[in-house]
Structures are given as structure tokens and as C-alpha cells.
Copies of this chain bind each other. A is one copy, B any other.
Amino acid sequence: MHKAIATVSVSGALEEKLTAIAAAKFDGIEVFDSDLVASPLRPVEVARRCADLGLSIDLFQPLRDVEGVDPQQFPQTLRRVGRKLDVMEQLGATTLLACSNATPSAVGDADLSAEQLGAVGDLAQEHGFTVAFEALAWGTHINRVSHAWDLVRRVDHPSVALAVDTFHLLARGDDATALHGIPGDRIAFLQVADAPVLAMDVLQWSRHHRVFPGQGSFDLAPVVAAVVEAGYRGPLSLEIFSDVVREADPHVTALDAMRSLLHLEEELRHRWDGAAAGPDKPQRPRIELFDPPPAPSEVEPAFVEVATHGPDLDRLLAAMGFHVAGRHRTKPVTWWRNGGANVLLNGAGDLEDRWATAASRPSITGIGLAVDDVPAFAARRSALLWPGLPLRHGPGEAVIAGVDSPTGIHTFVTGRPGQADDWQRDFVAVADPTADGEEEPGAGWVGIDHVGYAVPFRLSEAEISFHRTLFGMLPGAVSEFTDPRGRVRSRVMRPPTGALRIVLNVTEGLATRAGGPAGINQVAFACPDVLRAARAMRAAGVGLLEVPDNYYDDLAARFDLPAARIAELRAEGVMYDRDERGEFLHVYTRRIAGAFYVEVLQRLGGYDGYGAANTPVRLAAQAAQVRDARPA
């Protein structure tokens, strides 16, 4: 489809916007009048610049409140429209947007509105222009797509047609069925925008919190499909008003925007190709749609990568029950393993302990994910315009794909155990000196349960898009926590199938934004017996987080647990949660070199959460305890 974006959807001066939009390979733009008025470029210069950049000007947005106007003032309105049509002529655009009147004084008289919109249509017709009329969700009288369509039919003018905006339509609780019976040739423009579900005034919601398709909570594909099925063949145009975008680099935003449209096209293709055959099966329209290799059907966590190491980190891993399982054939990478839990230490060899210098502190910089088809993933990554990491593969080594998330998390995509692209093939096995021969199956920990990292608010939508568009992962509900210095909002991304869980800790405040360590700061391993694991770690000298006694008193008030159970949890510093489906036990290490901490957890029954009720206590304890986890 022809892909466009409104100039208001990226930041900067008009010239910067145009450059960024063209660089992201958009086909066209909507020109916002406010961007034009504030620009030193005259309309003809904008037209020339767009032509040079290969961008069509698909829409001009200069009109507000042109119907439902006090008849006394309407001549002044028409004068204003006339002036703007002159500008539009210079701009070389042919479709202009008119929104429903949203002023408190708007007159609620359908005949008057029809007469006035018709008069605007007459003026547009003189220039050969089309007026696309849109119902703002907060329009005084006309605020649903059905109202707008009623008016367009009533006007019955060859130069007046309907504009559909997914935000306005969905924000009012309508869905694709609201478009039934509207012929495609009467739809002059299609704008797409998503938004998170927020309980706030719809005007504020629309002006500040729109996001690109796939980043919010709206189901856009059915609406876009309905418009296309009706016969609309015009642009698919993004119109996003967002406080985040207003501060972002326009080049980053434009790329993010393009990816959202590519993903939307992919959804449309699935919709048309995937629907079961039958009399109701919608016919796939003859339009070009983005067609990359599909997202992996199943994603499993494979390993975490720690960027540096030294004897202290080795001692700590050993104290946590890990042992060296292998050494990379060609790179200075050591594979540490505890049952199904894998940690790769990637360093410059056996260096002296460098924890003292911040620059060389160990930090978890990457995560390995196992999928069925690595080359297909790499092709998908490239089609979605995500630059790949330049990974070197020695002859005969597994081909691993790499890509950085917007916040800079190295994401390595590997084959499944035993496959050609399995990362384990690149390691020379080392026998576990503590094991008597062969390692028992099922011994040790289960594996990685989840990894968590801090995401600055301004990157949160992009980070979600990354996981969603590349891996097909879906975001869960938002949980909110307060730590002693600010607010954290957590969101878990999970694939449709596979055990991977990635926790995005979105930090909004200055303090948390500035203070939190970069990279992955939390890795949680599942284990078959947390109480035993806690005892073993403590005996081996691992510094575990001290949980306040008051917490256990509160636990006794919240849950009807036997006193002996509470006593053993208290003795080991293990936290507890329960829901209708099961129980959850977890224990935390202190921070490791100030950079990250390890959680060891046990899920009993069908418990599927993360012990959110305990998070404020954990955050307070972490703030209080800065001593390191490494064994003495």
C-alpha cells in the first residue's frame, strides 16, 4: 500500500521532518498547517523539496470548524477556507482534511452543516480538490464515523467524501462494522493510529498519547481491512500525536513508524490469507502487502551473556551452583551451567579482578533466544529494517543472528539444542569437576524464567514494538510499583508459545531514569526448591537480600499460612506469593557489582505471576543494601 505519515508525527522543523520521513522510505506525507505556518519554506518550496525526496503530498490539514458554524460568521469561515485553498494550490496537494466542529458553540443542525460543508466543497471543486471530512472523537455534535458519513451523504457533493481515522473510530468504542455499507470510492483518506487504553479525557488522550500501530491496545487491522475491502485504494497514513515522539529523534521515529505500517500490512495479509475458506471469507484485495518470513512460532530463552568476568564472578557463579560446561572454540567466552540455566561469560580472558573500575564491571548485556529457523529470522529482521549485529562466525560454527533492541540489549537468536545453528556446538565441553561423571538429568536449576531491564519511558513503545514485530511477542498488563525514589511500571513480553518472559521496567522519573544501571539488571532462574537453593547459596557465601522481619509479620496477616512455613521462609529470606492457581517462592541476591541481581524462584501449581505484591519490599531492601553479592 502507499504509505504516508503526517508531518506532526515526527519532531523537528519541517525540513528535518521531510528528510527523516523520506529516509524511512515513506511514499507520502500529510502536511499539517501548523508545521507549514512555522516554516521558513514557502509552500512552493515545500512542494519542490517533497518532489526531490520522492514524497507525494497526500493531504493538507488547514481546516477546523467549517460546519455547524453560526451563519453570521460563516462568510468569514469561507474566506479563511479560500485563503488556505490558495496555499494548497501552491503546495500541489489535492485532498484536504476537514474535521467536525469541536467548539462549544457548534450548531447542532444537520441541514446547516450540510449546507456549509457543501459550500466548502464548492470552493474545493473550483480548484479540483477533494474535502475529506472526519469526525473528531470529541466533536460537539459529530463525533462518530457514522455521524460523519451521514453528513457526507446529506451533502451529496462530488468533492466531499469521508475520512476514516482509526483512533477516532476506536476511541468511541466503534469497530469495523461501523463502516458497513460505505463504498470505498466515498472514502477519501485513511489515517491510522493506535493508543493505549487510558481512562482520560479523549481530547488529551488523542493529543498526547497516540502511538504507532501495534504499540497500543487498539485492534486496527479489522478497521483497515474493512476500508480496503470497501474498495479504498488511497494512502495508509499515520497520524500520531505523542509527547514521546515530540522529543524523539525524527529519524528514529520515522523508522519506527514505517515498521509499524509494515507490521500492520503483515497482519492484513494474515487476515486475508489465513481466514478459513467459505462463503464469508473476505477476498484478498489486489494490493501489494509486506511479505516477510513469519515471526518465530516458538521462542525459548537459551542463555544470558555477561560482558566481562574475573575471579570474583567465577567464585560467585560457583557459589550459586554453576560450573564451567564449555569454552568457546575461537572466542574468549566461557559457558557456565547449572542444570538448564546457562550463563556465557564473554571477556578478554582471565584478567585480574577489575570490578573496582566501573567501566569493566560485569553487566548482563545480552540474551540468547532459541528459535526453529535462524536464517528466516535474519531475513525477517532485515525486512523490518532492523540493522543486524555484525557477528563473526568461524568455519563450521553455528550461524547466530544478532540484533540490538532500541534500548541496546544484544539479542542473539540461535537454533534449538542439537540443530545446526545451536550455539552449544561452538563450545568444547568441560567436565564438571564436582559431578561424579555424567551429569544427572534434571539436576540443578530448571533454566531462565525471565530477564528484566530498565527501559526509559521515551523508548518504551519502541522496545515493545521490537519484541512484537520481530518475535511476535505480546505485552501483558502493566504493573506499577513505587521504589524509594520513583515510580516503575512493569510490562512482561511473552511469545505466543515458548517459555520466554522479558520484563520491561519502564521508568518515567528523573531519579530512576538517571540512577538505574543500563542493560539487563535482573535475571531470574527457575529452580525446583528455592528453600534448598537459598540455604546452599547462603552456605557458599552468596550475599542474599535481607528481607525485613516486618514483611513476614505482614505475610502472616495476609495469608493463612502455618507458623512453621512462615518461620522457614523467614529463616531463608524467601519471599512468598499466592493466587488462585498456585504459589510462588523467590529469593534475591544483593546487587552484583552494582549492576544486576539474580532471582531464584519456584512456581508451584499454575502460578504465572512475578510476586508483584513483594516488589515494593524488594525495591526498598535493595535501596537499603548496597553491599555486593560476591562471596567473601
Contact = CB atoms under 8 A, between A and B. Distances in A.
Interface of A: 11-13, 16, 33-34, 36-43, 76, 79-80, 83-84, 87, 198-201, 204, 208, 243, 246-247, 458, 482, 484-487, 508-512, 546, 548-551, 553-554, 556-558, 560, 616-617, 619-621, 623-624
A208 to B, nearest CB: 8
A510 B458 contact: yes
Nearest to A76: B560
Given A201-B200, A620-B13, A548 B247 contact: no
B546 A40 contact: yes
Task: Give this chain's copy count.
Answer: 2
B246 A12 contact: no
Contacts of A43: 550
A621 B14 CA distance: 11
A39 B201 contact: no
A553 B87 contact: yes
Contacts of A623: 13
A509 B558 contact: no
Given A13-B620, A79-B560, A247-B511, 5 more contacts: A11-B484, A16-B484, A39-B550, A83-B557, A200-B200
Contacts of A510: 247, 458
A548 B38 contact: yes
B246 A34 contact: no
A477 B382 CA distance: 49
Contact of A246 (B84, B198, B486): B486
Contacts of A556: 83
Contacts of A619: 38
A249 to B, nearest CB: 10
Q: Identify which of A11, A13, A458, A554 gathers the most chain B CB atoms within 10 Å of its CB.
A: A554
Contacts of A617: 37-38
27 contacts: A11-B486, A13-B623, A33-B554, A38-B548, A38-B550, A38-B617, A38-B619, A38-B620, A39-B548, A40-B546, A40-B549, A42-B549, A42-B550, A80-B557, A83-B553, A84-B557, A87-B553, A199-B200, A200-B201, A208-B487, A243-B486, A243-B508, A243-B509, A246-B486, A246-B487, A247-B486, A247-B509
Contact of A39 (B11, B511, B620): B620
Contacts of A558: 80
Nearest to A555: B37
A247 B485 contact: yes
Nearest to A560: B76
A246 B550 contact: no
A146 to B, nearest CB: 25
